[in-house]
Amino acid sequence: MGAIAAGDVTLGTVFAPRVVSGLTLTDIVRYQGASGDLNPVHHDAEYAQARGYPGPFSVGMLPAGILGSYVADIFGASSVRRFSTRFVNIVWPGDDVICAVEVESIEHLGPTEVDVHLKLGVTNGVGLPVISGRALVRLDQG
């Protein structure tokens, strides 16, 4: 993989956001099947309402996963060394998932290797933060 060269990354680089418009219940079900977390509160309306929620809502790991896959699309999945997320607000079906990736700092490890520290965030369509995060990717210019 390696979608980007270390020389192309500069401090403060803000990548174009990845936008998933209107997350669907099918997106949630597909993720639940893939991940193995089949908690019905995320897809069964009756079950969710019986527990006091207005309806089913996304697994937090789905927007986190979309964010992670976006980081991997930019830098290459093999370059990722750390990926951390904090769940701030719930994502509901119909919400947009807007992923932001920004270069926070760059560390030169040797003549060819650099560590790129990233600041990450996911907001919904109305600007509410749903995830804040950090990542570390290791790039090799050699």
Partner 1 sequence: MKSPKVDELSLPAFPVFVERGKVREFARATHAEAREYWSDSAPSPPPTFLTTSSWWADSANTVLDQPHFDRARMLHAEQEFEFFGPPPVAGTALKAKQSVSNRFTKVGKRGGELVFTVVLTEFRDHEDELVAVARSTVVETTEAAI
Binding residues vs partner 1 (CB under 8 A): 1, 3, 18, 20, 27, 30-31, 33-37, 51-53, 60-62, 64-66, 68-73, 76-87, 90, 135
CB of 129 to partner 1, least distance (A): 14
CB of 14 to partner 1, least distance (A): 19
Q: Give 77 or 114: the residue with its C-beta nearer to partner 1.
A: 77
Please, where are the H alpha helices in the chain? Answer: 25-35, 45-50, 61-75
CA distance 67 to 18: 8
Burial class (CB in 10 A: 0-12, 13-18, 19+), 5: exposed
In the DSSP assignment, the letter for residue 6 is G
Q: Give 9 or 57: the residue with its C-beta nearer to partner 1.
A: 57
Per the document, the length of the chain is 142
CB of 93 to partner 1, least distance (A): 15
